[in-house]
Amino acid sequence: MEGLIKKLDKNISAMVQISMLHIFQIGLKYGIFTRLTEDKSYNDILNLISFGNKPLLKELLDTYVKLGVLKREGERLLMDEFSYTVRLSPESAPYIIPGWVSIFEEIYRMIDYASITPEHPKILMDFDKDADFWDMRLSLEFNSIYRKIIAKAGNLKDEMRVLDLGCGSVSPIEIGQFLGPNGKYVGVDFSPGILSIAESRVKGAGFDWVTLRELDIRKAVPRNRYDAVIMSFVLEYIDSIGRVIKTAMNALESGGRLIIVEPFKENYPNICAWEFFEKLTKEFNSFPTKSAILGALENSPHEFKLKELGNSVLIITKL
């Protein structure tokens, strides 16, 4: 388990680092840093840079400000003194999985298309329209790593009942395989495109203990009780996480576990560089903080025990 957790965390750190390099590259490519030496106002800069999608350009400039690359002084936008060090140690290198790098390169390339027009600012990582791209992404070894962590952390086995909120196209079989004919896996997702890919895999595998439901988890009210509830890489699409966490806790049996996997913001400095690219999906909000999750748990009526595994997994046991 320790090796899996290190693998998860070290790959997430590498994702943040590579996103930092690419966000700098965009600044160079579109002449943004050059313009900033001209002592212009924020609005002038927005208009002068040839990047047709102004809302996305605004996100980019705001991300540079958050990272400390640029600073705002009243109406002016200025370069700040900034340096960034990429870290790779002999200790970390063996944990890095190459597979995700080419998917991230695709995402970085999408920015060039998204830069063209403000009419379709979030066009290229849609859960429904681009379900095949999402399926490729969710099929990576990186994603299997955290699903194995989920299975171990939840002690998943046949006879258990599992609810997966925002299940995507791959977890129904990868998590479903840890259960069996006496168990029950219910996967909930709001994307028909994603669900149809999941459905064909589940049928092919003959996992008749796996059920899929098309629902928005912001509105869902589960009627049944489960031994485990999973939310992996989904809270980042929810703008007000309190209600969804309450739903998840309500759906748990006493002694059941809620397992959350996310790159918690406190643990990954500069993660807003990665967030900038994830905004190509219109529902993306922000990676959650542990403190927001804890606040939501404290506001729910349930007693709980919290355990952290590394920097990206929380296990909440309902008492």
Q: In this structure, which amino acid lies at residue 73?
A: E
Look at the block and give the residue holding tokens 């059941």: 256
3-state secondary structure of 281: coil
Q: How many residues bind ligand SAM (CB under 6 A)?
A: 20
Interface residue with ligand SAM, options 27, 154, 168, 263 (CB under 6 A)? 168
Instruction: Choose, by CB under 6 A, the member of 30, 100, 142, 190 that binds ligand SAM.
Output: 190
Q: Which of 166, 172, 176, 183 binds ligand SAM (CB under 6 A)?
A: 166
Contacting ligand SAM within 223-262 (CB under 6 A): 232-234, 237
Q: Using CB under 6 A, which of 138, 151, 273, 292 touches ligand SAM?
A: 138
- The C-alpha atoms of residue 20 and residue 22 are separated, in whole angstroms, by 5
> In the structure encoding, which two tokens stand for residue 46, read together?
């927005």
Closer residue to ligand SAM (CB): 57 or 198: 198
Choose one: 19-27, 78-86, 211-219, 289-297; the region binding ligand SAM (CB under 6 A).
211-219
Residue 170 CB-half CA count within 13 A:
20
In angstroms, give the least distance from the CB of 75 to ligand SAM.
37
Contacts (Cβ under 8 Å, ≥6 apart) of 246: 296, 299, 300
Q: Which residues pair with 184 in a beta bridge?
A: 161
In angstroms, give the least distance from the CB of 61 to ligand SAM.
26
In terms of C-beta density within 10 A (0-12 exposed, 13-18 middle, 19 or more buried), how is residue 285 classed? middle
Give the range of 40-48, 151-159, 176-184, 212-220 binding ligand SAM by CB under 6 A. Answer: 212-220
To the nearest whole angstrom, how small is the minimum distance from the Cβ of residue 249 to ligand SAM?
17
Pick the closer one to ligand SAM by CB: 92 or 196: 196
Among 64, 127, 207, 226, binds ligand SAM (CB under 6 A): 127
Shortest reach from residue 171's CB to ligand SAM, in Å:
5
Where do the DSSP E strands lie in the chain?
Answer: 70-73, 76-79, 161-165, 184-189, 210-214, 226-232, 252-261, 304-309, 313-318
What's the CA gap between 19 and 232, in Å, rounded? 21
| Phi, psi (degrees; rounded to nearest 5) at 257 | -120, 135
CA distances from 261 to 146, 164, 282, 300 (A): 8, 12, 21, 20
For residues 274 and 168, the answer to whether their CB atoms sit within 8 Å is no
Residues 257-316 that bind ligand SAM (CB under 6 A): 283
**Residue 47 Cβ vs ligand SAM, minimum distance, rounded to whole Å:** 34
| Residue among 30 and 264 whose Cβ is closer to ligand SAM | 264
List interacting residues with ligand SAM (CB under 6 A).
Answer: 127, 138, 143, 166-168, 170-171, 189-191, 194, 216-218, 232-234, 237, 283
